[in-house]
Structure 1
Amino acid sequence: MKMRIRRADPAGNITIFVMDQAERKDYAAISRQLLVREDLGAEQVGFVEKNADGTTHMQMMGGEFCGNATRSFGYLMSMLSEEKPEEITVDVSGSAELLKAEVDLDKGTSRTQMPLPQDIVTLPPIQGEQYKMVVFEGVCHIIVEDAPKSQEFVNEVIAEAEKILDCDAYGVMFLEGEKMTPVVYVRETGSMVWESSCGSGSMGAAVYLSREKDNGTYVYELHQPGGMIEATVEKKGGKTVQCKMGGPVEISEEMTVEITW
């Protein structure tokens, strides 16, 4: 069948929004078909759903939370509305609360409020090293302060993380100063992607880097293969009280693709 989609580019983390309604049980099969298309070059898929009350919800392909998809969804909703609001509330998977996105259509940017971290846990030793995992609702990110390692290393780290905590998605963020290389595994679809950029991973890195800070606002510019993402952490009494993440966004015109399942 034919489905309408839009291609979003938030700092290279190409996200396909499926605009037509489908059953959630079919999301994984639809996503796999979209992810293998070289002409789309997508790293993830989000489904735009209509709630019973007429509002709109964005459901990621594995039910996970994604920061780049969230801010792109906010940009899309502002772009499609008559009012073109600069601040818009979004309803997305992996977040129990509605989130606010700040959109500048003229500059082509979007910044979103992010869920607060639930915890920072320490993984058991892996190849003689211990790593921290920043836990959010819907996604867990392991921070590795080193140059990118092998896929085998990534697999081992994620396998250890799965033993400790059940998450919809796991990221391994290789962090070298302000340079970050993200890898994300989504359990529902079985997809493992070395991403061009990762919004929630950027937030995880910022939370990790500010973990010993007490009071203040801390801004981190994280340069990734597809572009730069700015992540901001506000802390009071050593506790993270607000997280925001943003950067450039481009969204294509609507197009139609053929999907079978």
Structure 2
Amino acid sequence: MKVKIRVADPAGNITIFVMTPLERSQYAEAANQLLEQKKYKAEQVGFVEEKEDGTLHMQMMGGEFCGNATRSFGYLKSLMDEKHPALVQVDVSGSESPLDVEVDLESGTSRTTMPLPRKIVNLSVPGQGTCPMVCFDGISHMIVKGPRRSDAFVQEVLKAARACETCDAYGIMFLEPSGDGMEKCYRMTPVVYVVETDSLVWESSCGSGSMACAVYLADRKADGTYVYVLRQPDGQIEATVIRREGKTVQCKMGGKVTISGELEAEIL
């Protein structure tokens, strides 16, 4: 069958939005088939659903939350609205409440509020020590200091994380200083595993992973606003953490976005 799609590029984290209605039972297979079509260079798939009240919902391929897809969806909604609003509210999987997306079509950027993390715990990985795990609804991110490590190491961390926390998706963010001497600027290499599709992808950038790193870096700091720049394989994301009374009370992240016109894709 043929489906209508839009291809978004939020800081290199290529995301396919399926605009044609499908049954949710079809999502995993449809996503896998679209990801296999190399011409799109996609790393993830989201499905745009129309709710009974006529508003739109974006459901990620595994029901997980994705920050880059969220801000891209907000950008898409602004594009599709003849008024092109600068502030768009989006309803997305993995978030219990709607999120605000700030869109600047002229500069080609969007920034979204993010769900607050539920907790930060130290994850014990047998034979590898411990690493912080930042847990959001729908996705948990492990933060490993230093450059990218082996696939075997990734599998050990994922195994420990899945035994500790049940989520729709898990990310491992390899985090190190940027090397250029800029304060609050880091290099991040993300890999994400989605349970429903059994897919492990070394992503070009990761929005929720960027937010997890920023939350971790700001944890236990004094009240205030902390802005971090996360440079990733194919893009850059700015993540902002606001702390009050010793707690993280607001998270935002954003960067560049481009979205294709409507395309047609073939799936079985």
For the aligned pair, the TM-score class normalised by the smaller chain equals over 0.9
Q: Is the 8 A contact 2:31 2:45 kept in 1?
A: yes
Give the partner amino acid of 2:188: M
Q: Secondary structure at the match of 1:228?
A: strand
Q: Secondary structure at the match of 1:131?
A: strand
Q: Secondary structure at the match of 2:157?
A: helix
- What residue is the counterpart of 2:168 in the other structure? 168
Tell me the percent identity. Answer: 61
- What residue is the counterpart of 2:118 in the other structure? 118
- 1:218 aligned to 2:226? yes
Normalised by the length of structure 2, the TM-score is 0.96
Distance 1:254 1:57 in 2: 18
- What residue is the counterpart of 1:180 in the other structure? 188
- What residue is the counterpart of 2:38 in the other structure? 38
1:54 Cα offset (Å):
0.5
Match of 1:241 among 249, 255, 260: 249
- What residue is the counterpart of 2:181 in the other structure? none
- 1:146 aligned to 2:166? no
Distance 1:221 1:46 in 2: 26
Distance 2:10 2:140 in 1: 20
Normalised by the length of structure 1, the TM-score is 0.99
Distance 2:3 2:171 in 1: 29
1:99 Cα offset (Å):
0.1
Match of 1:228 among 212, 229, 236: 236
Q: Is the 8 A contact 1:214 1:239 kept in 2?
A: no
Give the partner amino acid of 1:182: P
Q: Is the 8 A contact 1:3 1:256 kept in 2?
A: yes
Give the partner amino acid of 2:21: Q
Describe the superposition over 1:96-121 as per-residue Cα deviations: whole angstroms up to 9, x where unpaired.
01000000000000000000010001
- What residue is the counterpart of 1:259 in the other structure? 267
Deviates more, 1:118-127 or 1:211-220: 118-127
Match of 1:193 among 195, 201, 215: 201
1:242 Cα offset (Å):
0.1
1:146 Cα offset (Å):
1.1
Describe the superposition over 1:177-235 as per-residue Cα deviations: whole angstroms up to 9, x where unpaired.
20000000000000100000000000000001011212000000000001110000000
Q: Secondary structure at the match of 1:246?
A: strand
- What residue is the counterpart of 1:12 in the other structure? 12
Distance 1:196 1:244 in 2: 19
* CA RMSD, 1 decimal: 0.7
Distance 1:200 1:213 in 2: 20
Give the partner amino acid of 1:69: A
Q: Is the 8 A contact 2:125 2:160 kept in 1?
A: no
Distance 1:59 1:44 in 2: 11
Distance 2:151 2:26 in 1: 29
- What residue is the counterpart of 1:87 in the other structure? 87
Q: Secondary structure at the match of 2:243?
A: strand
Match of 1:202 among 195, 198, 210: 210
How many residue pairs get matched?
A: 260
Residues 15-94 of structure 1 mapped to structure 2, 5 A cutoff = 15-94=15-94
**Structure 1 stretches (4+) deviating beyond 4 angstroms?**
none
Distance 1:252 1:145 in 2: 35
Q: Is the 8 A contact 1:48 1:59 kept in 2?
A: yes
- Structure 2: unaligned runs, 5 residues or longer: 178-185
- Structure 1: unaligned runs, 5 residues or longer: none
